Amino acid sequence: MSAQQPAPSSSMSITLQIISIVFYTFIAFFCIGLPIAVLPGYVHGDLGFSPMIAGLTIGSQYLATLLTRPSAGRLADSLGTKHAIIYGLIGIALSGVLTLASNLLMHVPALSLTVLILGRVLLGIAQGLIGVGTNSWGIGQLGPEHTARMISWNGIASYGAIAMGAPLGVMLVEGLGFAALGIALTVLALLALAIIRNKASLAVTSGERLPFWAAFARVAPFGTGLALASIGYGTLTTFITLYYVERGWSGAAWCLTAFGVFFVLARLLFVNSINRLGGFRVAIACMAIETLGLCLLWLAPSTALALAGSGLAGFGLSLVYPALGVEAIKQVPTSSRGAGLSAYSVFFDLSLAIAGPMMGAIALHLGYPWIFCGAALLSVTGLLLTLLLFRRAAY
């Protein structure tokens, strides 16, 4: 039976309750991180498809998340946040089974790729369900005054999990083979399902429920700024391995780790700046730092500077999501929080879905360094849009 839990009073109590919720985000994104550094090489090298197809394979996960966001938000608002997370964990388990099956079908590359993409689609659906479920659960339990803190900790869990998962996925494949990825995804999801079974859920909030597209229209200006800033992340995660190969370097997975470490560090150190300075100011400063990091990746003559660029990009992107999210979530009623969060997240999903094919086309014609130049230009565009929104809000 669902029960509304009282809002915690102490800072430690708040943190502990947040951690108990974002644990499921950590599991989900650890499962996303495990294959992220090895999938491009698997599709391009082992199965023999082009870099653009490798980008489309990665992007299929984010496209699936994008297309199912309306259903994820509606499910979280109407059935409860715990149910959304449970369905997401089931999707991860099934994705692991399909990843294993893809490896077993390597002798038929087209079929193997098809099964792999189906697994990525399920993983993308799961990402949307767990993302909106955990954020909505935390904000509902802690209160709207802790929106930035909840979103920030959810991001710490997600990017921290990817930072850990990417190099561990490389080591797992090198030691046990690609099939081990599928087994790992399934086992982790089943363990999380066993843990969440006895966790008390949050009561469903009554009141006005905005249609998804009404919520979408209200948050669209803020989401567009988020999307423009987030394409750099999609570019990095999709192509950093092939970028390193073209440059004759090794250790691409450590760029993902650097991104994740500095992302988490920035959120831990500066999350309270959103409440002090306002979402717009923080977002503008962060986009400027991210752009600098992407430019450094574009021009990097060595792995050391590429790592530095990845770290700066992670540090810069870290607070863009919660900073603009605080402004976006003010536009929807409490009873439609799930729809608002889903609509806002659509823009993040869109950026990741288009990053693969868009940057794959740039890489095909100009080379991999230029994808980071393109991402930097888009980040600057997002910065200018946020400046306009800030000025509009001030009048």
Give yes or no for a contact between 81 and 202, defined as CB atoms under 8 angstroms apart: yes
Give yes or no for a contact between 294 and 376, defined as CB atoms under 8 angstroms apart: yes
Q: What's residue 315's pLDDT?
A: 94
Region 239-243 average pLDDT: 87
Give yes or no for a contact between 222 and 326, defined as CB atoms under 8 angstroms apart: no
For residue 37, which of 240, 297, 285, 290 has the smallest C-alpha distance?
240
φ, ψ of residue 300 in degrees (nearest 5): -60, 125
| pLDDT above 60 (res 246) | yes
What are the angstrom distances between the C-alpha of 358 and each of 60, 69, 252, 374?
13, 22, 21, 10
Task: Identify the three-state secondary structure at position 50.
Answer: coil
* DSSP per-residue letters across 287-316: HHHHHHHHHHHHH-SSHHHHHHHHHHHHHH
Q: What's residue 30's pLDDT?
A: 93
Q: Mean pLDDT for the chain? A: 86
pLDDT, tens digit (0-9, with 9 covering 90-100), for 164-199: 888 899 899 888 988 999 999 999 999 999 999 877
Q: Which residues of 149-158 are buried (b: 16+ CB within 10 A; e: fewer)?
A: bbbbbbbbbb
φ, ψ of residue 204 in degrees (nearest 5): -70, 130
Q: What's residue 199's pLDDT?
A: 76
Region 270-295 average pLDDT: 91
Q: Which residues of 97-107 are buried (b: 16+ CB within 10 A; e: fewer)?
A: bbbbbbbebbe
Q: What percent of the chain has pLDDT over 70?
A: 94
Q: What's residue 24's pLDDT?
A: 93
Residue 11, Cβ neighbours under 10 Å: how many?
9
Residue 203 pLDDT level (bands cut at 50, 70, 90): low
Q: What's residue 154's pLDDT?
A: 86
Q: Which position has the higher pLDDT, 285 or 353?
A: 285
Region 305-327 average pLDDT: 92
For residue 291, which of 229, 351, 362, 384 has the smallest C-alpha distance?
229
Instruction: Answer yes or no: pTM beyond 0.75.
Output: no
Residue 326 pLDDT level (bands cut at 50, 70, 90): confident
Residue 208 pLDDT level (bands cut at 50, 70, 90): low
Dihedral angle over CA of 95, 155, 202, 343, nearest 10: -80
Cα(331)–Cα(43) distance, integer angstroms? 42
φ, ψ of residue 209 in degrees (nearest 5): -120, 110
Q: What's residue 207's pLDDT?
A: 57
Region 47-66 average pLDDT: 81
| pLDDT above 80 (res 357) | yes
Region 343-348 average pLDDT: 85
Residue 9, Cβ neighbours under 10 Å: how many?
8
At 325, list the tokens.
């999210």
Q: Which position has the higher pLDDT, 219 or 57?
A: 219
What are the angstrom distances between the C-alpha of 252 and each of 76, 264, 279?
37, 19, 33
Cα(221)–Cα(360) distance, integer angstroms? 27
At 395, list the tokens.
């009048």
Give yes or no for a contact between 94 and 53, defined as CB atoms under 8 angstroms apart: no
Give yes or no for a contact between 326 and 147, defined as CB atoms under 8 angstroms apart: yes
Give me the amino acid identity at 295.
C
What are the angstrom distances between the C-alpha of 19 and each of 30, 134, 156, 322?
15, 10, 10, 17
| pLDDT above 90 (res 382) | yes
Task: Identify the three-state secondary structure at position 250.
Answer: coil
Region 272-295 average pLDDT: 92
- Top-tier CATH class for 11-201+210-394: mainly alpha
Residue 4 pLDDT level (bands cut at 50, 70, 90): very low
Highest mean pLDDT among 214-223, 281-290, 343-352: 281-290
Residue 2 pLDDT level (bands cut at 50, 70, 90): very low
Region 50-55 average pLDDT: 79
Q: What's residue 6's pLDDT?
A: 45
* DSSP per-residue letters across 52-81: HHHHHHHHHHHHHHHHHHHHHHHHHHHT-H
pLDDT, tens digit (0-9, with 9 covering 90-100), for 104-157: 998 888 998 999 999 999 999 998 899 888 888 887 777 777 777 888 888 788
